[in-house]
Amino acid sequence: MTRPQASSVTAYNRFLLLVAGLGGLLYGIDVGIIAGALPYLQATSGLSAGDLSFIVAAVLAGSVISTLFSGLLSDWLGRKPMMIISGILFVASIPMIALSHGFGPLVLGRLLQGISAGFVGVAVPLYLAECLGAANRGKGTGIFQWLLTLGIVAAALIAMGFSVWLGKVELAGDATKLFAAKNLAWRSIFWVSLPPGVLFVIGASMVSESPRWLFRKGRKEAAKLALLRSRTPAEAELEMQEMATAAAHEAAQTTNGTRTKESLLRRKYLIPFLMACVILACNQATGVNSIIGYNATILIQAGLSDVAAHWGYVILTSVNFLVTMVGVMLVDKKGRKFLLSLGSAGIIASLVCAALMFSKTEKQRVDCAAAVQAMVTADQSLKMNFDQAMVASLLAGKAGAGEVSTMIIIYSYGDFRSATKVLRSDDKLTEIAIERGKSVPDNKVKAFFDNPLGKLDAALVAPLTIENALVTPVPSASSGWLTALCIFCFMAFFAVGPGVCVWLALSELMPTRIRSNGMAIALVINQVVSTVIAAVFLPTVGKYGYGTMFFGFAACTVVYFITAAFFLPETKGKTLEEIAEHFEGKHKRG
């Protein structure tokens, strides 16, 4: 009798881990799918650069909007319905995008994907924290993160497959067939991402509701039945007693039948909430999104060729995926505190080493903004070839005039700033072209998402201002690979620590009363920090270099390490009620 029951519990817990993985996969595809589809969408849609930028950014807008309300909706509707809704929104977005023939449906579809991602990012970790036992909770949330990275890799591999196919079509030399093939490619990339969404909806429909949500709604029998699907009877009974004790403590706040709500400023609410916010903010302040997003550009500046830099990106994403798997295996053995401390310490060391490598080269760079500004034409545009002859012209009489160099131009039209891609003077394609139509949003909605404080009308007539035109000697390839190794180490330490544990920290630290809304607020803070870093990254690199930027990321990570090593309690093997007692000061000392 015991064995079949234990087998059933094990099977259900594995099923929960599978659903968690599908949620992470969905989130990763949400984030990564547009990168592979964008070149083909750009080639066939006839949309302007501003339109395409808005389509890319629509996911972030949708995610911010949904994250703001996900906590309230999760408390109102339940955790399970929110997971189902997030999956349905993703599934609905695919045909809307893949069958679209204009800007409107594309934006709406991408907004739905962003809303789906915001709901998934709150609902799945929240659900796992409240449903999985203490022994499996770390593994479940770790698998969510692991398959999130797999979703990004899968999106890249799907795009790579279509790229190989298009290469064969291009060899035939038929422009009409190539156009049709590219049009089919970007639509197919989205269609291929549909099955994980369907499977997630089916999986989310088959799991039980969160027992703690049911208990708080007064449905105690349903809560016990939900617990019995993932616990032994003894474990379920113990957790029911813990939930009852927590509920009785809340009820003790009632005076004469009128409930006096506890202040949310009490230490058992405030400390874990602030700690989760610090961890989420510092997670972005490591610079992980910018280092991944600008990876090829960073490695070219470090001394690698364009091809080698793109291979470096493949290695980086592979390291992220593989080391995340290691983190999943360690999180319930070594604990959250250990992995976060190890990861943040390793990130600091890796960033400092990379910063020192860049600083050595960037001391030799020259800002040729004045010379490039003189090349701007009367229509406030710029066209130039950055080849060895241009290097010699720009650096005439200065050191490095005959060396292979890189150039990046930071420029603006009024309040709207942009940057060219990094070019090497020994590349085959060295043309730099800057035009107002490709740099300034063509309507106020797009302008708001680009720069909420920017004045669009002024930008439409403002002159082209070259803020920086940075010419930097290219370090040796060996120096480039050494810098790349530092960045790979950064990725490995991030994956094994913050990458796996951040979702756990978010869902485990907060007491039941504030968990859903607290998670939503912390995730919004996370996204705000990410947006701010994205906004300041290029200007900071332009004026002060990658070395300064990496030193800044390292300084922020010091705060992360101190929080993890000295203030974060170990939550491995503890129920959510035991974690709440720790912050209330009821934990055992000594």
Q: Tell me if 33 sits within 8 A of 190, measured CB to CB.
A: yes
Report the candidate in 379, 357, 375, 467 with the shortest Cα–Cα distance to residue 419: 467
Given this model, what pLDDT does residue 22 score? Answer: 83
| CA separation for the pair 217, 582 (Å, rounded) | 25
Given this model, what pLDDT does residue 257 score? Answer: 46
Instruction: For the beta carbon of residue 308, count every other beta carbon within 10 angstroms.
Output: 17
Given this model, what pLDDT does residue 343 score? Answer: 93
Within a domain: 577? no
Within a domain: 304? no
Given this model, what pLDDT does residue 135 score? Answer: 66
Structure tokens, 547: 């070395």
Q: Tell me if 282 sits within 8 A of 560, measured CB to CB.
A: yes
Report the candidate in 533, 584, 499, 513 with the shortest Cα–Cα distance to residue 141: 499
Within a domain: 391? yes
Say how many residues make up the chain: 590
Q: Which residue, of 172, 207, 242, is where some domain finishes?
A: 207
Within a domain: 160? yes
Structure tokens, 484: 């790349």
Q: Quickly list H helices, 193-257.
A: 194-206, 211-216, 220-230, 233-251
Q: Which residue, of 156, 186, 207, is where some domain finishes?
A: 207
Q: Tell me if 341 sits within 8 A of 512, measured CB to CB.
A: no
Residue 421, domain extent: 366-476
Within a domain: 73? yes
Residue 386 is classified by DSSP as -
Within a domain: 530? no
Tens-digit pLDDT profile for the chain (590 aa)?
Answer: 444 456 777 788 888 878 877 887 877 776 667 666 776 787 787 776 557 667 776 777 787 788 778 878 888 888 899 999 999 999 999 999 999 888 888 889 988 988 888 888 778 877 877 777 666 666 666 777 777 777 777 776 777 777 778 778 878 877 888 888 888 888 888 888 888 889 989 998 998 888 888 888 888 888 888 888 878 788 888 888 877 887 776 666 554 444 445 555 566 667 777 887 888 888 888 988 788 767 777 888 788 876 777 678 778 888 888 898 888 788 778 878 889 899 999 999 999 999 999 988 888 888 899 999 999 999 999 999 888 889 888 888 777 677 888 888 889 999 888 878 777 787 766 788 888 887 887 777 777 767 778 888 999 999 999 988 888 888 888 888 999 999 999 999 999 988 887 777 666 676 666 666 676 777 777 777 876 776 677 677 767 888 999 999 999 999 999 988 888 777 676 666 666 666 666 554 43
Buried (b) or exposed (e) across 224-259, using 16+ Cβ within 10 A?
A: bebbbbbbeeebbeebbebbeebeeeeeeeeeeeee
Within a domain: 88? yes
Distances (CA, A) of 439 to 384, 463, 535: 17, 12, 15
Q: Tell me if 366 sits within 8 A of 395, measured CB to CB.
A: yes
Within a domain: 544? no
Buried (b) or exposed (e) across 407-419, using 16+ Cβ within 10 A?
A: bbbbbbbbbbbbb
Q: Which residue, of 476, 509, 525, is where some domain finishes?
A: 476
- Write the CATH number for 54: 1.20.1250.20
Predicted model pTM: 0.68
Q: Tell me if 114 sits within 8 A of 59, measured CB to CB.
A: yes
Q: Number of folded domains in the chain?
A: 2
Q: Quickly list H helices, 294-435.
A: 295-302, 306-334, 336-362, 369-373, 388-394
